[in-house]
Structure 1
Amino acid sequence: MSLIKPSGRKGPVSGKAAGRRNNNNQIYAHPLPIIFWYPPSTRIRSVLGLLGLTLTRVEVPQCQGVFDEATRSVWVSSRSDSNILWRRGFFGKGDLSRSEPSWLARQINARRTGGNRLTSEEMTAKRRAERKQFKIDRARAIAAVAAEAEALFETEGRVTVPALSGPAIPSAATWKPAAPEDPPETPVTPQEETPPEEEEPQEDLEHLQLTLPEAFFLLWNLDCLAVEDPLTNELMSIQQIWIAFQAAHLNPPLFVSPRPTPALQFDNPFIINYIVYHHYRSLGWVVRGGIKFCVDYMLYKRGPVFNHAEFSVVVCPVYEDPADQEVSTVDLHHASPFSWAWLSTINRVNTQVYKTLILAYVTIPARSRVSVDVLQSPACLQHYSIREVTVRRFIPARMRD
């Protein structure tokens, strides 16, 4: 059982933000792809409850993806399946987007004139452009004040210190972006008028890309994903998927059928990362990649559209028998002890963005105690263990109490 708990930190919510949040509560109402439909409260339901029965219906979607060994991922090309997996648990990432598969929406917005509904990528680009323009305007205002001070010194001999704030210097609270200028309208003669052409439907070129831990969690725990072999175009069994996902981290991509079975190892990176992913997903956290903050995973209370991640996780494998690490052919990330300088750097990066760093230690069973044959099925996960260590950076200004 995990000891971490969300801080519950909430900021002020404006009217416009509250409207978007209510809309998100409807779109992302389900935390997982499976849905439980509860019948209305009736006398029959009460009687069945006393007998240990229920009328609750479980809806399990059947999504389908294709295993891509080269990218170590599963591709979901169906638009409806992509929406289900993203809106019900934030699984996967659009290959042409930052996170949510919104490439098609961006293309439609670009083709339409006067479209005012921006996607997340477009809103981010707009904020960055406004922030860049604010810095330029502020630098110009400071340079003008400095030039005015120099002019006073040359003409009157007075020495004045240029002010870095004031009515002439824009600040983040007072600066507003300039309204775009409308281009001059050119009169159109009747001879130049042409009938409007019908727009061709935009083809969706984006697919949802699932990591191997995400894909296996969906197909093994929730039974809502089927994985297809791209070489045979046939659905793979759970055992075939389990071995193929391990082989993707051991051998270079072999585009032959059937694929040769590699020598399986307990320190396979897929197994180590899946254990941590499964651990936090089972506790109700939304787990996303954390490469942006130099960590392995980020933990969200509800999802990235509701709030920022509260915890960042670094996966730290630990060998039960140190001799297994010496004979291993896998260069496992963070298997060797890391330096205090590295730990201090990662902790400082995450502390500055108000995230708590967690070191998730995964104990790898010893070959002398457990046979390698257990790696043929997911039942081998019972031989692994995980423990958490929370790392906090001491900040005197915040921790006086």
Structure 2
Amino acid sequence: MAEQTKAGKKNDRAERNRIYAHALPAIPSSSTKPWLGIPLWRTPSSLERPRVVGVFDSATRSVWIIHSEHANLLWRRGFFGKGSLSRSEPTWLARQTGSRTAEEITAKRREERKTFKTERARAIVAAQEEAEAAFAAGKPLPAPFAPEAVRQAIRSTPEPGDASTPPPVLAAEPPEIEPVEDLEYLQLTLQEAFFLAWSLDSLRVLDAVTHNPLSLPALWRASHAAHYMPPAPQLDLRFDNPFLVNYVAYHHYRSLGWVVKSGIKFCADLLLYKRGPVFAHAEFAVIVCPVYEDDTDRATSPFQLSNVDPFSWSWLSTVGRVNSQVQKTLILTYVTIPSSRRVNLAALDSPGCLAEFSVREVVLRRWVPARMRD
């Protein structure tokens, strides 16, 4: 059983490496102006880049990738976006048609681990009972109690007469499958969409009403305007716009080569993966903490930014405990918002204003006496 499990994991790993072998590379370009102390990262012109089309939706503050081919391309080339009918990878159609998905592979692995643990516990209990009987009779310990014998017992599969073994099922003719319409789309955050459109030049965004392509300046302003309630493109741009503050953090980590996903499941803003969610769990959880350089800007702001006020000990302890239990390191990322009295607001007309922001990081680890006494 253990050998079969190892072989299955090896095959799954090889298949994942094949599917996600061409993720978007992060290669620095020396001809671009540094942002946040790091260069703007672009894909070299000699490498193939995906060319996809999306639709801007201000109501959900996202960009929708309607075409399934484009959605799969973005997911496999950098794990961008989230399936509208899936937890992460857009697999709704595959689940409807019976194809094997990453979620099903994960469920199968969990079932295999559960079966393995049950068989291991059963083998250990049997070996202990035999050892106790031998000890009571004054005999030496039996061979099955030796480590290698126990490992052999653990690897053994249930006997044919075991009640847990399901009876054989006669093969039946497969039913005729009707074609299923793909109702799922890939949903990109505005930060992901602008990074793809501007930094990687891989996304063209259409207006939801006119279906005309949005220029980069138009997409820049529309992303800012979407955070006003109701959206109003004529309002003045501000340095503390939620889109801009979160884009600074997103661009910072994406430019350093991390795969960045939402961290709401773990009480955080972002999760950082080395390669992607299909390879391993995220190692870091990020909480974005805006810091106003000028308190006057905060007093006049129409936005209620999260994590501006100091954290309470109970809240910080709760978040730290949640992430330590899932083996994630918590990072507080402080994004300093430049003062509008120091920087001309005209700088907000282009992404060049990002050079005025600064990012500082504080790593938190929860001290657990039982684990860290050594």
- Output the TM-score relative to the length of structure 2: 0.76
Q: What is the CA distance between 1:399 and its match in structure 2?
A: 2.2
1:81 aligned to 2:54? no
The match for 1:279 is: 252
> Percent identity between the aligned chains?
57
Structure 1 residues 1-400: aligned runs within 5 Å: 14-32=6-24, 57-109=46-98, 118-123=100-105, 178=164, 199-253=177-231, 260-400=233-373
Secondary structure in 2 aligned to 1:57?
coil
**In structure 1, C-alpha distance between the alignment counterparts of 2:191 and 2:179, rounded to whole Å:** 35
Contact 1:360/1:387 (8 A) holds in 2: yes
Contact 1:97 1:121 (8 Å CA) reproduced: no
Q: Indicate the structure (1 or 2) with the bigger Cα radius of gyration.
A: 1
Distance 2:171 2:22 in 1: 49
Q: Report the 3-state secondary structure (helix = DSSP H, G, I; strand = E; otherwise coil) of the residue aligned with 1:398.
A: helix
**RCO (CA 8 Å, sep 6+): is it higher in 1 or 2?**
2
Distance 1:128 1:197, change over 3 A: closer
Pairwise CA RMSD: 3.2
Contact 1:318 1:362 in 2 (8 A): yes
SS at the partner of 1:357?
A: strand
Q: Which runs of 5+ in 1 are unaligned?
A: 1-12, 36-54, 110-116, 134-171, 187-194, 254-258
Q: How far has the Cα of 1:119 moved from its partner? A: 2.1
User: Which structure 2 residue ranges, 5 or more long, are not aligned?
Assistant: 28-43, 116-153
* CA–CA distance in structure 1, aligned partners of residues 168 and 206 of structure 2: 52
Amino acid at match of 2:265: K
Show structure 1 runs of 4+ deviating over 3 A.
120-133, 172-186, 195-200
- TM-aligned CA deviation for residue 362 of structure 1: 0.1
Letter paired with 1:22: A
Residue 200 of structure 1 aligns to which amino acid in structure 2?
E
The answer (yes or no) to whether the contact 2:24–2:49 under 8 Å persists in 1 is no
Distance 1:14 1:130, change over 3 A: closer
Give, in whole Å, the separation in 2 of the partners of 1:287 and 1:278: 9
Instruction: State whether residues 23 and 77 of structure 2, in contact with CA within 8 Å, keep that contact through their aligned partners in structure 1.
Output: yes
Taking the aligned partners of 2:264 and 2:91, their CA distance within structure 1 comes to: 21
Q: Is the 8 A contact 2:26 2:257 kept in 1?
A: no
After TM superposition, the score normalised by the length of structure 1 is: 0.71
- Compared CA separation, residues 204 and 178, structure 1 to 2 (3 A): farther
Distance in 2 (CA, whole Å) between partners of 1:20 and 1:315 is 35
Q: CA deviation at 1:217?
A: 0.5
Distance 2:249 2:260 in 1: 10
Shift of 1:323: 2.0
What is the rounded CA distance, in whole Å, between the counterparts of 1:275 and 1:72 in structure 2? 17
Aligned partner letter, 1:18? K
Count of residues paired in the alignment = 313
Whichever residue aligns with residue 213 of structure 2, its letter is L
CA 1:225–1:353 in structure 2 vs 1: closer, same or farther (change >3 Å)? Answer: same
Alpha-carbon shift at residue 121 of structure 1 (Å): 3.5
Conservation of the 8 A alpha-carbon contact between 1:251 and 1:262 = no
